[in-house]
Amino acid sequence: MESSDRAVLQAAKEAIGTFLKGDASARLDEPIQDPELEAFRTQLNEVLTHCGETAEEFHSVHMRMADALTDWFECFNEVKRGNLDVQIENHYGDDFLDMLSSQINETVSILKDLDEERNRQKQQLIEQQAKMIQELSTPIIRVWDHVLALPIIGVVDSMRAKDMMEILLQSIVDNQARCVIIDLTGVTLIDTKTVDYLIKMVQAATLVGSQSIVTGINPEIAQTIARMGLDLEGVVTLRDLRAGLRRAFEILELEVTASRGA
Amino acid sequence: MYDDFEEGIIPIIRLRKVLLVPIQVPPSDSQAQHLLERILKDLRRGTHRILIIDVSSLDMIDSYLTRIFYDIAQAAKSLGVVSGLVGIQPAVAITLVQMGIGKLNVQTFLNLDDAIECLEERL
């Protein structure tokens, strides 16, 4: 082997070495006299260029995929945390990746729709039940023309008392009821607050223009009221619903008589 | 002291022996005071025996107005006139009760018919 050949080989080795170390621009730059060696040099340069381009392409594909994976991962994490408003906004310059992204977006929005639908149904159910409970807790009976009865059953708390007062007053106005009988037969336990609500309810009914009669206070409650030193000021109280209705008839100046002289 | 516009806000209707005052807009304090004076002037001059104030269009009654109603009723009483309030709205009643004004010391009625019927009996 001639020394010039050896030099060319050495140069080629060096160029390949530099290339492998990461410098993609490494080439055999100096032209060679010998046509055979010159052909080898050109070929080697072509190979190096080709390898460089391929590596670059691989690199960019790799980067794009890394970007996409990061975005998807974040997206999934958000969804897992319950945030269904996320959408992948980025484009990766790659049809396949973009297609996958848009499919993930679609899936997330379908999930979101389902979630909203479920929440809506749940809300509807809660509202229905609340309405039902409210209606059941304030049953207003039209016992006679212009006479309403409100039987109270169970424990009265502030929320229920407020609802009851509103519903009662509205019914008084709607039915133009001149008398309201509030029946406490179903109330087994009473405290200061409940008595306070009761007095307020009676006062409000009077303000609207309706006379209230409280009936059916059982002995225990009567004792409690007496022991607590509460004053049912200005509240007409009677023994039972029957007595209350009789008083209502008196107020309305009605008289109940047997049709045949029984 | 009062311009014509202010004076025209609250009408006073004279119908046989009834003096009917429908209040449609919440009056200011000075308007309420002025109303009291106008009503008393009318009552002294006329032959009315029943005074009815209709508040069914009011969705708010403040403590000053309740005071004026009480004053009007007391003054009317001293002139031999029976008086009543008609048509307090449920929401107004609830507010009054929660403000601690459970009693107005004025008789209240659901509607005009009730009021006239009841008040005629008291004459």
A29-52: pLDDT as tens digits: 777 878 888 888 888 888 888 988
What residues does A141 pair with on adjacent strands? A149
What residues does B49 pair with on adjacent strands? none
Which tens digit of pLDDT belongs to each residue from A107-126?
989 999 999 999 999 999 99
Tell me the CB-side half-sphere exposure of residue A123, using CA atoms within 13 A.
6
Please report the domains of chain B, with CATH numbers, ordered by start residue.
Answer: 4-122 (3.30.750.24)
Number of alpha helices (DSSP H) and beta strands (DSSP E) in chain A: 7, 5
Q: Which residues of chain A make contact with B60, given a CB cutoff of 8 A?
A: none
Asked if B93 lies within 8 A of A208 by C-beta distance, the reply is: yes
Give B79 to chain A, closest Cα distance, Å: 24
**Per-position DSSP letters for A9-76, written without gaps between them:** HHHHHHHHHHHHTT-TT----S--SSHHHHHHHHHHHHHHHHHHHHHHHHHHHHHHHHHHHHHHHHHH
Confidence at residue A261, expressed as pLDDT on a 0 to 100 scale: 63
Q: Give percent of chain A with pLDDT exceeding 90.
A: 26
Which tens digit of pLDDT belongs to each residue from A43-78?
888 888 898 889 888 888 888 888 888 888 888 888
Alpha-carbon dihedral angle through residues A127, A130, A131, A133, given to the nearest 10 degrees? 160
Q: What global pTM score does this model have? A: 0.64
Residue B27 is given by DSSP the state: P
For chain B, what percentages of helix, strand and coil (3-state, to nearest 5) are there? 45, 15, 35
Give B3 to chain A, closest Cα distance, Å: 33
Confidence at residue A23, expressed as pLDDT on a 0 to 100 scale: 79
Which tens digit of pLDDT belongs to each residue from A8-22?
888 888 888 888 887
Q: Which residues of chain A make contact with B103, given a CB cutoff of 8 A?
A: 203, 206, 234
Calpha distance A11→A29 (Å, rounded): 9
Higher pLDDT residue, A262 or B20? B20
Domain range A138-251, CATH class: alpha beta
* Residue ranges per structural domain of chain A: 1-128, 138-251
Domain range A1-128, CATH class: mainly alpha
Query: Does residue B27 carry a pLDDT above 70?
Result: yes
Mean pLDDT confidence for A224-240: 83
Residues of A with CB under 8 A from a CB of B: 165-166, 169-170, 172-173, 176-178, 199-200, 203-210, 234
Residue A150: how many CB atoms within 10 A of its CB? Answer: 22
Which residue's entry shows tokens 């046989």?
B16
Calpha distance A261→A198 (Å, rounded): 41
